[in-house]
């Protein structure tokens, strides 16, 4: 029944044909069970294991690699090749792809846990009225129409419509669903709100929320998927995983690269059609197969096989660094996404605030004879921990607050007129509450005021264990006084009173709404001398003004405290006893902002990141918080920057677009609104990070580009998120964003390194094919260079240090290409030099080397007709392993120098020297040691078709390799100058990575 909140109790009972005094009968239960199903969240259909595996290979570059591996395997079989070398290349490629697929499957399997965690918030049992008798049944057996009784501590077992109040009031903690900072009062009367959100449905008890005060009967109106929790589950199921900006750009780059590779391969094959019938191949078909193998080798050379592994490794390194910043990453790609975040939609309760009510202000009557009439005190400490101090109106810390009469009486009243419990939980190292958060705040205040008469009191309290310290002062007062009678809080009186006895002295302690307490007070306690004086109209007016100031401008939740001497021996309390009270003081409390939030939001603004506070709380409370933390960016007028969900939904489409660009606060929201906000911002090409801790945040966390859950939040929120803040510290997000930006910069650098190296390999093979000289490099040598000598330095580039101004620049745009036109031009220049230097090393050995044959260049170009001509040299010279070894070594060494170029995109190697990244230096050393091993260890030399080099040959290798640093230094100089900027601007229209957003339009 979807509109039960708007119907009267009798209408709802008639709809389900139930007698509230007897409940459903057995036949009705059976019929409703068939009609509505069971009270469980249905299990979602899981993606099969094999579908997850196949999904990992749904990438164009991966498909090309698989095709290249299979073709290499088939060609080896066709040519009758045997042994390890023949099948090494396809085997290694397939092993790499299998490893990447395994990582992907594990990641996606973890992502499905969020929906499982949601079931933890369903109640286990319920007290149900059936056939005229109450019984405790499993909550799964509830059906719509059941009459259920709930009381303090109960978890609501389904969505219930209030039928009867069995206590003076009923309050529910529904923060996990709505994000409200305080418990919510419930009533029986139907709601008259139009377009009602969860907060407006004051007669509905939502499944999974907890009763904190009172007792009531209600009728089940929604079970399983038809509850508020069920709607959250449906929203999560409808939310697919979004590809990260880097993933999108790499996919586009893969598509572009695939087209280029296909074109070059076909071109190489076509260019050599005339050589198919050369005698050296042994026939036309064999010649065609030979050049087809070269084309396949070219494809393998062009594709950076190690790129997925290196990207994964770099992101993993980032997660390790971020873990040290208390940001635990659950999804590797989200590390990079942080770097381009443009909007943070932050939950208020528990994220920007502590989600722990805390007394912030105290106001008492100082004296009516001299000085100021009222004295105000501020209280610091923002959690339930009994740690904090009290300051006077000139910010002077009070050494012994309990020596002041009013503060002493406030501490006694806070401890005794209280039903809550404050305790220390050693498992998570936190102080926890049982009961109303406002009452726990008063208990904490009593601890901060301390006890009177002990000079060593502050230091003595600090020596206690945390378990003893939690309620030491409260227990002291409870031991000093004996509770005799209690008048519970009621909605008409709006106050609570306790009669306590101590050594033949009986005192009434009262607390409640200031307007209720003040009307019952005739006297007031003075703080300067402890005297009691009549409460005059002037004092009453001043106290009322102070109350309105606290509640209005500072949006504090206010309580007034009062006492009264009672006749000795009285054992019961009546309503008439709550009069002629003595006013003690006014306390103002709030869910305080975290201390570090203000500076964190300022850092976000400096970095060009907008923060939107999203909360289920009311507008005035949230606006007050935003003023405190600086979320409004010092604007005095909040028009156009603060909206409730209903106000925003009523705006025309064009005004909604404008509102989204200026919005800083979004209030009175429910889960669907949070998800709608994320989607609307994403349509404006914003990269959205969503923070939250409640069950209500889960759909939005999953939909956002990056979902950030609080470490103290619900398991559902954590499972739906990409990142968890272990310390619940909003400031950790800023540090994580800086790390994300640095990771993206490093990612660009190692992509640049790998692609420029691969371009060099393509140029090498292409130029050799066009010139008609022998194969410069064997396929197994290309594979070695791609996987080992490329992979280690590329991974080490991930350790490049963060730029000092990384958080002073605006976030990069979503459509910004990883490789711009100017950058690709630099790739081509460096790649061309790498390829030409490799070919030059090969030709040098044949034509100029002292240990070589010193052939005329024309003989080298006609090597394939050697067997048909008379020559002064044996044709076996073209099978010598020296030239390909020199070429391979040039390729390795030039790439090591090129790795040093990638310490920074534009800064000179003189400004950022090699030792700024010792990991890179170490990887270069390890790579060269591995290369020396395959040159000088005989079995490895045979496997890789190489041979040891002489010192003269090494000298030429260094001469050919070092100029790559000089060339890149020149290109970096142009990048730093206006010429590079102009070239970049001119080439922006033809970015090699097309912008999907523009293309879609």
What backbone torsions phi and psi does residue 161 show, to the nearest 5 degrees?
Answer: -100, 125
**Most confident region among 341-350, 405-414, 593-602, 798-807 by mean pLDDT:** 405-414
Give me 936's structure tokens.
């000088």
d(CA 498, CA 82): 94
Residue the block writes with tokens 């209720």 = 516
User: How do beta strands 374-379 and 610-614 pair?
Assistant: unpaired
Residues 6+ apart with CB under 8 A from 666: 345, 612, 613, 614, 615, 643, 644, 645, 648, 673, 677
Q: Which residue, among 139, 224, 210, 216, has the nearest Cα to 176 in the 3D structure?
A: 210
- Please, is 622 exposed, middle or buried when counting C-beta atoms within 10 Å of its C-beta (0-12, 13-18, 19+)? buried
**Most confident region among 381-385, 513-517, 647-651 by mean pLDDT:** 513-517
Which carries the bigger pLDDT value, residue 833 or residue 990? 833
pLDDT tier at 847, thresholds 50, 70, 90: confident
The sheet with strand 147-151 has its strands ordered as 133-138, 125-130, 147-151, 215-222, 159-165, 204-205
Sign of CA dihedral 396, 400, 402, 403: negative
Residue the block writes with tokens 């591995």 = 930
**What's the length of the chain?**
1001
**CA count, 13 A, side-chain hemisphere, 286:** 9
Spatial contact of 923 and 858, defined as CB atoms under 8 Å apart: no
pLDDT tier at 360, thresholds 50, 70, 90: very high
State the catalytic residues. 347
d(CA 790, CA 751): 11
**CA count, 13 A, side-chain hemisphere, 856:** 5
User: How do beta strands 495-502 and 505-512 pair?
Assistant: antiparallel
d(CA 465, CA 445): 19
Residue the block writes with tokens 């490099």 = 777
Give helix 882-901 / helix 918-936 axis angle, nearest 10°. 180
pLDDT tier at 537, thresholds 50, 70, 90: very high
- Please, is 966 exposed, middle or buried when counting C-beta atoms within 10 Å of its C-beta (0-12, 13-18, 19+)? exposed
Which carries the bigger pLDDT value, residue 461 or residue 934? 934
Which carries the bigger pLDDT value, residue 307 or residue 328? 328
In what helix (H) or strand (E) does residue 481 lie, and over which residues does it extend? Answer: none
**What digits encode the pLDDT tens for the residues 873-884?**
777 787 788 898
List helix spans (H) across 595-729.
597-606, 619-629, 645-649, 653-662, 671-683, 698-703, 715-720
Q: Which residue, among 393, 358, 385, 341, has the nearest Cα to 527 in the 3D structure?
A: 393
User: How do beta strands 642-644 and 665-667 pair?
Assistant: parallel
**What digits encode the pLDDT tens for the residues 762-774?**
888 788 877 878 8
d(CA 29, CA 14): 15
Residue the block writes with tokens 């389900």 = 16
The vertex-230 CA angle with 225 and 231, nearest 5°, equals 120
d(CA 80, CA 434): 78
The SS3 of residue 366 is coil
The vertex-65 CA angle with 60 and 71, nearest 5°, equals 125
Residues 6+ apart with CB under 8 A from 370: none
d(CA 152, CA 434): 10
Whether the pLDDT of residue 50 is over 80: the answer is no
**Most confident region among 118-132, 624-638, 827-841, 873-887 by mean pLDDT:** 827-841
**What digits encode the pLDDT tens for the residues 424-440?**
988 878 888 887 888 99
Other Cβ atoms closer than 10 A to 955:
11
Whether the pLDDT of residue 292 is over 60: the answer is yes
d(CA 748, CA 372): 65
**Most confident region among 259-268, 584-593, 699-708 by mean pLDDT:** 584-593
- Angstrom CA distances, 799 to 340, 745, 757, stand at 19, 11, 19
Q: What average pLDDT is seen over the chain?
A: 80
Whether the pLDDT of residue 241 is over 70: the answer is no
Whether the pLDDT of residue 963 is over 60: the answer is yes
What backbone torsions phi and psi does residue 432 show, to the nearest 5 degrees?
Answer: -125, 155
**What digits encode the pLDDT tens for the residues 258-268?**
777 777 778 77
Question: What does the pLDDT read at residue 775?
Answer: 77
Q: What is the pTM of this model?
A: 0.63
> Which range (472-481, 743-752, 912-921) has the least confidence?
743-752
d(CA 797, CA 77): 39
d(CA 434, CA 147): 27
Spatial contact of 783 and 89, defined as CB atoms under 8 Å apart: yes
Spatial contact of 431 and 424, defined as CB atoms under 8 Å apart: yes
**What digits encode the pLDDT tens for the residues 774-828?**
878 876 777 677 766 677 787 788 778 776 667 777 777 666 666 677 777 888 8
DSSP 892-939: HHHHHHHHHHTT-SSS-TTTS-GGG-HHHHHHHHHHHHHHHHHHHSHH
Residue the block writes with tokens 């992502």 = 111
User: How do beta strands 581-590 and 358-365 pair?
Assistant: antiparallel
Other Cβ atoms closer than 10 A to 720:
31
Whether the pLDDT of residue 302 is over 70: the answer is no
d(CA 189, CA 203): 7
Question: What does the pLDDT read at residue 999?
Answer: 34
Question: What does the pLDDT read at residue 986?
Answer: 42
> Which range (283-292, 392-401, 506-515) has the least confidence?
283-292
d(CA 286, CA 288): 5
Whether the pLDDT of residue 120 is over 60: the answer is no
Question: What does the pLDDT read at residue 984?
Answer: 46
Whether the pLDDT of residue 231 is over 80: the answer is no
**What digits encode the pLDDT tens for the residues 12-45?**
999 999 998 899 998 999 999 888 888 877 665 5
Give me 758's structure tokens.
């691969």
d(CA 692, CA 236): 15
Give me 105's structure tokens.
């499957």
Question: What does the pLDDT read at residue 279?
Answer: 67
The pLDDT of 690-700, averaged and rounded, is 77
Residue the block writes with tokens 């394939």 = 864
**CA count, 13 A, side-chain hemisphere, 859:** 17
DSSP lists the bridge partners of residue 563 as: 509, 582
Spatial contact of 676 and 658, defined as CB atoms under 8 Å apart: no
User: How do beta strands 505-512 and 557-566 pair?
Assistant: antiparallel
pLDDT tier at 997, thresholds 50, 70, 90: very low
d(CA 186, CA 171): 6
d(CA 28, CA 628): 55
Give me 273's structure tokens.
């059609």
Whether the pLDDT of residue 462 is over 80: the answer is no
> Which range (336-340, 514-518, 677-681) has the least confidence?
336-340
Whether the pLDDT of residue 114 is over 50: the answer is no
Question: What does the pLDDT read at residue 122?
Answer: 52
d(CA 351, CA 368): 43
Whether the pLDDT of residue 309 is over 70: the answer is no
**Most confident region among 57-66, 162-171, 463-472, 961-970 by mean pLDDT:** 961-970
Other Cβ atoms closer than 10 A to 837:
25
Report which DSSP code applies to 18.
-
d(CA 356, CA 349): 9
Secondary-structure breakdown of the chain: helix, strand, coil percentages, each rounded to the nearest 5: 50, 15, 30
d(CA 928, CA 938): 17
> Which range (402-406, 535-539, 547-551, 702-706) has the least confidence?
702-706
């Amino acid at each position: 029944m979807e509109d039960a909140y708007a119907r009267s109790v009798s209408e709802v009972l008639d709809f389900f044909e139930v007698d509230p005094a007897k409940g459903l009968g057995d036949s009705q239960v059976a019929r409703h069970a068939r009609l509505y199903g069971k009270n469980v969240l249905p299990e979602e259909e899981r993606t099969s294991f094999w579908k997850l595996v196949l999904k990992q290979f749904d990438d164009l570059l991966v498909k090309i690699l698989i095709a290249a591996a299979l073709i290499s395997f088939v060609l080896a079989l066709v040519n009758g090749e045997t042994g390890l070398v023949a099948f090494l290349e396809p085997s290694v490629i397939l092993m790499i792809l299998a490893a990447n697929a395994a990582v992907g499957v594990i990641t996606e399997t973890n992502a499905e846990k969020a929906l499982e965690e949601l079931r933890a918030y369903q109640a286990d049992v319920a007290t149900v009225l059936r056939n005229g008798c109450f019984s405790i049944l499993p909550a799964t057996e509830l059906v719509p129409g059941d009459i259920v009784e709930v009381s303090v501590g109960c978890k609501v077992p389904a969505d219930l419509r209030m039928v009867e109040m069995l206590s003076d009031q009923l309050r529910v903690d529904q923060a996990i669903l709505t994000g409200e900072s305080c418990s919510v009062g419930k009533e029986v009367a139907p709601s008259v709100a139009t377009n009602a959100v969860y907060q407006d449905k004051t007669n509905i008890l939502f499944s999974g929320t907890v009763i904190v005060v009172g007792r009531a009967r209600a009728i089940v109106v929604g079970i399983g998927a038809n509850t508020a929790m069920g709607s959250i589950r449906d929203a999560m199921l409808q939310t697919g995983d979004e590809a990260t900006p880097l993933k999108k750009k790499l996919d586009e780059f893969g598509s572009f690269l695939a087209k280029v590779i296909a074109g070059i391969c076909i071109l190489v094959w076509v260019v050599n059609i005339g050589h198919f019938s050369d005698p050296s191949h042994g026939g036309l078909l064999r010649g065609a197969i030979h050049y087809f193998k070269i084309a396949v080798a070219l494809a393998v050379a062009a594709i950076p096989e190690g790129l997925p592994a290196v990207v994964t490794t770099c992101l993993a390194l980032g997660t390790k660094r971020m873990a040290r910043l208390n940001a635990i990453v659950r999804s590797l790609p989200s590390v990079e996404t942080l770097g381009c975040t443009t909007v943070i939609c932050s939950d208020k309760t528990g994220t920007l605030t502590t989600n722990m009510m805390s007394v912030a202000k105290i106001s008492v009557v100082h004296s009516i004879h001299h000085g100021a009439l009222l004295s105000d005190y501020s209280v610091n400490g923002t959690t339930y921990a009994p740690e904090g101090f009290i300051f006077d109106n000139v910010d002077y810390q009070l050494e012994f607050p309990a020596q002041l009469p009013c503060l002493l009486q406030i501490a006694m009243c806070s401890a005794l007129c209280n039903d809550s419990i404050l305790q220390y939980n050693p498992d998570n190292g936190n102080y926890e509450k049982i009961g109303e958060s406002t009452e726990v705040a008063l208990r904490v205040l009593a601890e901060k005021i301390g006890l009177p008469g002990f000079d060593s009191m502050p230091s003595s309290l600090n020596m206690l264990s945390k378990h003893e310290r939690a309620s030491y002062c409260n227990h002291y007062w409870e031991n000093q006084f004996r509770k005799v009678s209690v008048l519970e809080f009621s909605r008409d009186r709006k106050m609570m009173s306790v009669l306590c006895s101590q050594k033949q002295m009986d005192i009434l302690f009262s607390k409640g709404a200031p307007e209720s307490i003040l009307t019952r007070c005739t006297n007031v306690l003075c703080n300067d001398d402890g005297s009691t004086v009549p409460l005059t109209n002037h004092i009453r007016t001043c106290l009322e003004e102070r109350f309105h100031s606290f509640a209005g401008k500072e949006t504090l939740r206010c309580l007034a405290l009062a006492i009264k001497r009672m006749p000795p021996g009285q054992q019961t309390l009546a309503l008439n006893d709550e009069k002629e009270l003595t006013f003690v003081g006014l306390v103002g409390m709030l869910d305080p902002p975290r201390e570090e939030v203000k500076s964190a939001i300022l850092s976000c603004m400096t970095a060009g990141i907008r923060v939107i506070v999203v909360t289920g709380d009311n507008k005035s409370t949230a606006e007050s918080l935003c003023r405190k933390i600086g979320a409004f960016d010092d604007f005095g007028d909040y028009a156009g920057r603060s909206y409730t969900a209903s106000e925003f939904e009523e705006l025309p489409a064009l005004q909604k677009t404008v509102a989204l660009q200026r919005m800083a606060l979004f209030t009175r929201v429910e889960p669907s609104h949070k998800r709608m906000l994320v989607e609307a911002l994403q349509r404006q090409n914003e990269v959205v990070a969503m923070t939250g801790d409640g069950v209500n945040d889960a759909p939005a966390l999953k939909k956002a580009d990056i979902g950030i859950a609080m470490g103290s939040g619900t398991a559902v929120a954590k499972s739906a998120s990409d990142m968890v803040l272990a310390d619940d510290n909003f400031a950790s997000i800023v540090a994580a964003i800086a790390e994300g930006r640095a990771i993206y910069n490093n990612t660009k650098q190692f992509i640049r390194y790998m692609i420029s190296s691969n371009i060099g390999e393509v140029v090498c093979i292409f130029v050799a094919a066009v010139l008609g000289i022998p194969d410069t490099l064997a396929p197994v040598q290309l594979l070695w260079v791609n996987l080992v000598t490329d992979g280690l330095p590329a991974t080490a580039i991930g350790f490049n240090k963060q730029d000092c101004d990384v958080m002073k620049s605006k976030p990069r745009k979503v459509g910004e290409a990883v490789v711009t036109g100017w950058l690709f031009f630099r790739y081509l220049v460096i790649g061309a030099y790498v390829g030409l230097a490799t070919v030059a090393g090969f030709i040098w050995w044949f034509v100029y080397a002292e240990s070589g044959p010193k052939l005329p260049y024309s003989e080298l170009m006609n090597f394939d007709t050697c067997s048909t001509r008379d020559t002064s040299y044996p044709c076996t010279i073209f099978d010598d392993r020296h030239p390909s070894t020199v070429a391979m070594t040039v390729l390795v060494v030039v790439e090591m120098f090129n790795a040093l170029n990638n310490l920074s995109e534009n800064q000179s190697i003189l400004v950022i020297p090699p030792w700024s990244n010792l990991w890179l230096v170490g990887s270069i050393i390890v790579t060269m040691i591995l290369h020396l091993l395959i040159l000088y260890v005989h079995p490895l030399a045979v496997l890789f078709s190489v041979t040891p080099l002489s010192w003269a040959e090494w000298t030429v290798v260094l001469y050919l390799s070092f100029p790559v640093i000089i060339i890149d230094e020149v290109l970096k100089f142009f990048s730093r100058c206006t010429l590079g900027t102009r070239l970049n601007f001119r080439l922006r229209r033809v970015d090699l990575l097309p912008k999907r957003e523009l293309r879609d339009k």
